[in-house]
Amino acid sequence: MTVRKAWIAAGVAVSSALAFVMLLAVGVYVIAGNLANGVGGGAGKALAKGSVPAAYQALVQKWGNYCPAINPALLAAQLYQESGFNPTAQSHAAAQGIAQFIPGTWATHGIDGDGDGDRDVWDPKDAIPSAAAYDCALASYVKDVGGNLTENMLASYNAGAYAVIKYGGVPPYQETQNYVKRIR
């Protein structure tokens, strides 16, 4: 009887883990929308209910329409991938905040999104607009590279526009390929 209970408990644990993974996968798909075809942009694409924490919904909706290369669902999926919407996230590579800017990139591309007179990588009201603006800049840098503009823009965010230009598309870096795939 004890062995049977252990097997049942193990089965329940595995089922719960699989259910969580499936829920996570569906959630990411809902956040990203169906972006597999064409350019990721498109004004007017609404966020799926509950896909973005309430504190960031208006920012993601507004700035996700910053240029034709992005949309709110794509921006939301990117922020989720970067930090899980954690404004205090910090990576082993020194990337900081909700949008995971490295200091040099922030120095060049960080903007004062909330108009309070400072550019704070830790403040989502600055970092989310900065991520959108940076995505749009990256899209313009790689617009003439072959392949899918959205994938090339995302790869540029992760590996740099130079790598995308050098390889004529998403570079052969496993991390970057996985990054693009998870967001798409």
Q: How many domains does the chain have?
A: 1
Strands (E), the chain: none
Domain containing 61 — which CATH number?
1.10.530.10
Q: pTM to 2 decimals?
A: 0.77
Q: What is the residue whose two structure tokens read 């082993």?
A: 92
User: Which pLDDT band, with edges at 50, 70 and 90, does 47 fall under?
Assistant: confident
HSE-up (13 A, CA, CB side) for residue 151: 20
Contact 155, 172 (CB under 8 A): no
Q: What is the pLDDT of residues 127-142, one digit of tens each?
A: 999 999 999 999 999 9
Per-residue pLDDT, 49: 82
Any idea what the Cα angle at residue 95 is, between residues 157 and 121, rounded to 5°?
Answer: 95
Calpha distance 47→93 (Å, rounded): 30
Based on the residue annotation, tell me whether 82 is a catalytic residue of this protein.
yes
Count CB atoms within 10 A of the CB of residue 101.
Answer: 24
- Residue 24, pLDDT score: 37
Average pLDDT of the residues in 35-54: 64
Give me the domain span that covers residue 14.
2-183
User: Is residue 51 within 8 Å of residue 5, measured between CB atoms?
Assistant: no
For residue range 62-111, what is the model confidence (pLDDT) as tens digits? 999 999 999 999 999 999 999 999 999 999 999 999 999 999 999 999 99
Q: Is 83:184 a contact under the CB 8 Å cutoff? A: no
Query: 63, 69, 76, 82: which is the annotated catalytic residue?
Result: 82
